Amino acid sequence: MPERIVLIGYGTVGARFVEELLPAVTSGLVELTVVGAEAHDAYNRVLIAEYAVGQADRERLEMTDTAAAIAAGVRIVTGTSVTSINRSRHTITLGTDEQIPYDRLVLATGARSNVPTLDGITKVRRDFMKPPVDARTLDSAEAPLPRGITVLRDVEDAQTVLAAVQDAQRIVVLGAGVLGMELALAAARAGSETCVVYHSESPMDRNLDRGGGTILAASARRAGVTMINHARAESVTFHTDEDGSKRFEALVCADGKQIHGDLLVLSCGVHARTELAYLAGLEVSSGIVVDEHLRSWTDSDIYAIGDCAHVATRPAPGAAKANPPGGPSGLVGPGWRQADWLAARFIAELSLAPSDDAFVDRSISVVMLKAEGIDVVAAGVTKADPWDQHEDGCASAPLSVAQWADPEHSRYTKMVTRDGILEGFVCVGMPRTAAELTLLFERGSELPADRSMLLRYDGPDYEPSLGSDPFAVDATVCWCNGVTVGAINETACAGNTTIAGVGSATRAGTGCGGCKNRIGEVLARFAEVEGPQELAV
């Protein structure tokens, strides 16, 4: 009998798991059932901000071939919620009352947008509430947002923002993280009057230091975005529409300032959807707690991947119980790697070739802001200050910090090193320097003793031969999918000489999309080296 595997969640990570498990479905090893709350086929949620301002059409968000999966034998149920998991019977119950049996259950329920505590908006703690029968109300049950207020998490949210952008309405964004800044900058470029309100001193406070954030804020203001920092939002005010419904009018801050707008977009982070797991008695923390094999601490037949998965080492028997460290990554790249690894492990085990290897994500996390004309890249340790004493408890040498700023031209770089090895960096307005630092960070290479040499990459006398080879075969181009220059060259030799062709063959550029310029550079270099006669092969 085939192994009955049920996947709850048909989003970006769930779709990847389905693709990787298809060989086991077609061979008869697996009977796969997928249940998704959204009525749409899986789409690339990372590009939702671009879709919301009209920079990407709906087709560009498509990322999987649902028809091919169904033809292979996968049962896919969309627009349907899962209301409960019965672990003793090994079944799940749908909102339609149908019960589906499983041998292994994979949770890819993702995360929902945080709704901050604001007077005028009903805030419901949904974490431990039973999921609603109607899948359309999964994130809005009992507390729908008032008119003129939205989050930006799915296609429907994006369409609300797009309507405001097309009508040139004033958009207020609460929160200055990566998504909030990308949305504000893109909306301003599309012609909307845009304002970002945030409590911290500078934007992208979790990823950037004060210097990098300050330069980013200045660049955003020059791009037409109003930036309001040190603003603690407390409430919202409304006016009444012609039909008697209340609609957002202004955001009110603790100091009394009122920020008026036509649409308020809440961009205040996300929280894993854990209520289904919690009600089933599974261990949850900031996500569904799973071990190094992505298996639930509580039930060996249940797994979790993506934004809902909190990977942590299981405590030893008898050890004191405490909240596990860390939490879900919140990035598409690690989620995809979890999906790839788990599908491969299932196939190996069902083929009677089990592996004891644990899931280890050795990739580096690089944060890139996708905004035209504003280059922001950060990775690793970013908060160290040049004048601090960096005795951080490490047995080796202390941290050293080199910093350079040119506010007049919106350029800034910080390099944090230990024993000459880069442990983190921030780079704003210097794309070539950022590319070099990313390579050095990825490889753990030693920086030159004179750090200022790295600044020359964005200078008028830039000479590519002086730095690390950005076209080395092992240089990573796509961080989301771990695609290297060598892999792109190989697929180019096979005839895939366009960015779209490379994406289809290797998945490079199909995640956040921030690497598409780099893919173009690699293809251009390939054409120079190999010549047109090779490209024709």
Q: State the CATH number of the domain containing residue 437.
A: 3.30.390
- pLDDT-based confidence at residue 536 (cuts at 50, 70, 90): very low
* Spatial strand order in the sheet of 263-266: 149-151, 263-266, 171-174, 194-197, 225-228
pLDDT for 37 beyond 70: yes
Evaluate whether residue 399 is within a structural domain.
yes
User: Over the stretch 349-405, which tens digit does the pLDDT of each residue have?
Assistant: 998 776 778 887 766 778 899 888 899 999 999 998 888 765 555 546 788 999 999
Which residues are within 8 A (CB) of 162 and not within 5 positions of it... i.e. 6 or more apart?
Answer: 51, 52, 53, 54
For the ranges 16-30, 497-511, 512-526, the maximum mean pLDDT occurs at 16-30
pLDDT for 471 beyond 90: no
Query: Domain end: 445, 467, 489, which one?
Result: 467
pLDDT for 220 beyond 70: yes
Range of the domain at 304: 3-110+273-350
Evaluate whether residue 527 is within a structural domain.
yes
The CATH number assigned to the domain holding 473 equals 1.10.10.1100
- In eight-state DSSP terms, residue 404 is E
Query: Domain end: 467, 484, 508, which one?
Result: 467
146 and 261 both lie in a single domain:
yes
444 and 478 both lie in a single domain:
no
| Between 197 and 133, the higher pLDDT residue | 197
293 and 388 both lie in a single domain:
no
Please, are residues 94 and 100 in contact by the beta-carbon 8 Å criterion? yes
167 and 263 both lie in a single domain:
yes
User: Over the stretch 67-101, which tens digit does the pLDDT of each residue have?
Assistant: 999 999 999 999 999 999 999 999 999 999 999 99
139 and 232 both lie in a single domain:
yes
In DSSP notation, 124-139 reads ---TTSPPPSSGGGTT
Cross-strand partners of 376: 369, 428
223 and 196 both lie in a single domain:
yes
428 and 506 both lie in a single domain:
no
Evaluate whether residue 115 is within a structural domain.
no
400 and 448 both lie in a single domain:
yes
Please tell me the predicted confidence (pLDDT) of residue 391: 56
| Between 299 and 315, the higher pLDDT residue | 299
153 and 256 both lie in a single domain:
yes
Cα distance between residue 116 and residue 149, in whole Å: 12
33 and 98 both lie in a single domain:
yes
Please tell me the predicted confidence (pLDDT) of residue 498: 87
- pLDDT-based confidence at residue 535 (cuts at 50, 70, 90): very low
Please tell me the predicted confidence (pLDDT) of residue 534: 42
Please tell me the predicted confidence (pLDDT) of residue 208: 95
Please tell me the predicted confidence (pLDDT) of residue 52: 93
pLDDT for 461 beyond 90: no
Evaluate whether residue 358 is within a structural domain.
no
If you average pLDDT over every residue of the chain, what do you get?
A: 89
Cα distance between residue 86 and residue 4, in whole Å: 15
| Between 221 and 138, the higher pLDDT residue | 221
Structure tokens at 447: 């920086």
248 and 299 both lie in a single domain:
no
Query: Domain end: 449, 467, 485, which one?
Result: 467
Per the structure, the count of domains in the chain is 4
Evaluate whether residue 398 is within a structural domain.
yes
Evaluate whether residue 117 is within a structural domain.
no
Query: What is the percent of the chain where pLDDT is above 70?
Result: 93
User: Over the stretch 309-328, which tens digit does the pLDDT of each residue have?
Assistant: 999 998 888 777 778 888 89
User: Over the stretch 420-450, which tens digit does the pLDDT of each residue have?
Assistant: 999 999 999 998 899 889 989 988 888 988 8
How far is Cα of residue 358 from the mean position of the Cα atoms in its chain? 23
265 and 282 both lie in a single domain:
no
- pTM, two decimals, is 0.88
Evaluate whether residue 361 is within a structural domain.
no
Evaluate whether residue 363 is within a structural domain.
no
> Which secondary structure element, helix H or strand E, spans residue 428, and what is its range?
strand 421-428
User: Helix (H) and strand (E) counts for the chain?
Assistant: 14, 27
The CATH number assigned to the domain holding 283 equals 3.50.50.60
Please tell me the predicted confidence (pLDDT) of residue 428: 96
> Which secondary structure element, helix H or strand E, spans residue 347, and what is its range?
helix 332-350
Structure tokens at 74: 């996968």
Average confidence (pLDDT) over 277-295: 95
Please tell me the predicted confidence (pLDDT) of residue 533: 39
- pLDDT-based confidence at residue 410 (cuts at 50, 70, 90): very high
User: Over the stretch 164-216, which tens digit does the pLDDT of each residue have?
Assistant: 999 999 999 999 999 999 999 999 999 999 999 999 999 999 999 999 999 99
User: Over the stretch 140-175, which tens digit does the pLDDT of each residue have?
Assistant: 767 789 999 999 999 999 999 999 999 999 999 999
